[in-house]
Amino acid sequence: MVLPPFSMEDGSVNRKTPSGLPAWLQDLLKRMDEEMVLRGFTRDTRRVYLAHVRRFYQGRGRRAGRDEANPVAGGDEVRRWLLFLLRTGRSHSYTNQALSALRFLHRAVLNAPAPVSGIPRAKQKKTLPKVLSEEEVRKFLAALKNPKHRAIAFVLYSAGLRVSEVARLKVTDIDSDRGQIHVRQGKGRKDRYVMLSPVLLNVLREYARVERPYDWLFPAGHRRDRHITTRTIQREVTHAAVRAGINKRVTPHVLRHSFATHLLEAGTDLRYIQELLGHTKISTTVRYTHIARREARRITSPVDRLFEGDE
């Protein structure tokens, strides 16, 4: 049985809210967010899912030429939406996120059979992570002069953290006595400890003398009660790479990939790298073996053996 998706006591399904959304859609998004909070979804996942659902129904309203107050969608309608996303240049990852969001909406919020259960997930391209060389990392870090941005970049590379994990670090997460950083509620709602290098500790101390953080390690400007946004970190990392003259698009995740690859090239055990990165599956970590040069240097090409001594 499908429960009523929202209340329409005022009889106006097309009433607009201050956000510009129809009242029924605003109410639907609110209920969906509450369900995700109850299930322990991260703030980033909630934001992404809500955005996908909002775009779907806004697009539906434009196609229908009116507000569509019945949120239960049919399988054909969802299929057409996903095809539209792919044909207009959206990635397979983006399309799969939209599919997951609509599935959650129907099952957890509308108490309706998911019309998207028979729709296959778009097959994603398997690409190798982009990494910087150690010399490029050195140039990149040297280009950062702002103490705060410099400290953030050092944390990203020296500990291999995700950008969201860096943004949410607190001063108390830095354990200088044990040489560890406590990463709280990372991906999958899991805590873990990662290394705190002596070099990073010195950089953090220099930053702390200037910034004097007391709660969030990296507050949002003058708002000490909020942490820095992931978007701000991403922007500063990209700008620093340009200033350093690096002809690659550098993102926080590229620094994380570089951290893992350089550890592997230095002979660090793959299982330990998996633990540091917070990967649930070792298969996620194994992909770094395809770009690490440590083993490749030891392999001799058969043509070298064939013509050995002829040089």
Catalytic residue among 107, 130, 182, 279: 279
Per-residue pLDDT tens for 22-71? 889 999 999 999 999 998 888 888 999 999 999 999 888 666 545 556 78
- Is 115 in contact with 81 (CB distance < 8 Å)? no
Catalytic residue among 150, 192, 227, 256: 256
Catalytic residue among 187, 212, 227, 298: 187
Q: Which residues contact 291 (CB under 8 A, 6 or more apart)?
A: 128, 129, 131, 261
Tell me which of 6-20, 31-45, 91-105, 219-233 is least confident: 6-20
Comparison of pLDDT for 87 and 116, the residue scoring more: 87
Look up residue 9 and give its two tokens.
């006591």
Per-residue pLDDT tens for 60-108? 866 654 555 678 888 888 888 988 998 898 888 888 899 999 999 999 9
Rounded to whole angstroms, what are the CA distances from 57 to 46, 119, 258?
A: 17, 19, 40
Catalytic residue among 31, 170, 253, 294: 253
Residue 279 falls in the annotated catalytic set: yes
* Domains of the chain in sequence order: 23-109 (1.10.150.130), 134-296 (1.10.443.10)
Per-residue confidence band for 12, with pLDDT thresholds at 50, 70 and 90: very low
Phi-psi region of 86 (alpha: psi -120 to 50; beta: other; left: phi over 0): alpha
Catalytic residue among 162, 168, 192, 227: 162
Q: Which long-range contacts (CB under 8 A, 24 or more apart) does 124-127 make?
A: 124/91, 124/92, 124/93, 124/96, 125/92
Asked if residue 125 has pLDDT above 60, the reply is no
Q: Please count the other Cβ atoms lying within 10 Å of the Cβ belonging to residue 300.
A: 8
Residue 253 falls in the annotated catalytic set: yes
Per-residue confidence band for 301, with pLDDT thresholds at 50, 70 and 90: low
Residue 94 falls in the annotated catalytic set: no
Residue 184 falls in the annotated catalytic set: no
